Amino acid sequence: MKYGYISGDTAQVKQQKSVMRSYGINGDALIFGAVGQVLDKLEPNDVIYFSSLTDISSKIREINEIVEQLWEKEIDIQIISPEIRLSRTSEAGSLLKELMIISRSETRERLTAARQNKKLTDPNFHTGPSPKRDVGQVVQYRKSHTTIDTARHFEISISTVKRYLRNAKNN
């Protein structure tokens, strides 16, 4: 069966409904709501029509996840503008899936390379949580420096310096 996915504001919904009607989709075959929530309505060999690729999502990662979920249920996807048919069995569908996988791995590689480069060029660069500060060192340093200088030296906020000083006084 053919289903049409509709989303957006009132003007977009009206425009999408008329486009779906031109494809012979109306009535109960029109689906509203989040794409992930409509998966239960669809059955194997159904085709879901989207007005545009951004109707699925504006993020490539989410598009990839939704396309994979639809293909796992053996549901084909038709993008109306531009005209794209994403069939899990077609060459174009396989190509798109491979492109999304390549895009994801390239992004991961770029991030990894950038982190490694930053580690080599910046001795203060680290990933993960900040190292725990020795309150005694902060208090001692503050005795001969301003609060702002202390915060910059230990790479902590001014409020953290003040909190350390207040806690040191109370103890």
**12-66 per-position pLDDT tens digit:** 888 888 888 888 887 777 777 777 677 777 888 888 888 877 777 777 778 888 8
Query: Does 86 have pLDDT greater than 70?
Result: no
Query: Does 129 have pLDDT greater than 80?
Result: no
Residue 124 lies in a domain: no
Q: How far apart are CA 44 and CA 16, in angstroms?
A: 24
Helix, strand, coil content of the chain in percent (nearest 5):
60, 10, 30
**Segments forming the whole domain that contains residue 76:** 2-100
CB < 8 Å & 24+ apart, contacts of 159-166: 160/133, 164/133, 164/135, 164/138, 164/139, 165/138, 165/139
17 with 86, same domain: the answer is yes
| Predicted local distance difference test score (pLDDT) of residue 10 | 80
* Burial (0-12, 13-18, 19+ Cβ within 10 Å), 43: exposed
Query: Does 161 have pLDDT greater than 90?
Result: yes
Residues of the chain above pLDDT 90, percent? 15
Pairwise pLDDT comparison (144 vs 119), residue with the higher score: 144
From residue 70, alpha-carbon distances to 35, 44, 63 in Å are: 10, 9, 11
Query: Does 141 have pLDDT greater than 90?
Result: yes
Average pLDDT over residues 147-166: 92
Average pLDDT over the chain reads 82
Q: How far apart are CA 82 and CA 152, in angstroms?
A: 53
Residue 6 lies in a domain: yes
pTM of the model: 0.51
77 with 144, same domain: the answer is no
Residue 17 near residue 30 (C-beta atoms within 8 A): yes
Residue 113 lies in a domain: no
Q: What is the CATH number of the domain that holds 22?
A: 3.40.50.1390
Query: Does 2 have pLDDT greater than 90?
Result: no
* The length of the chain, given as a count of residues: 171
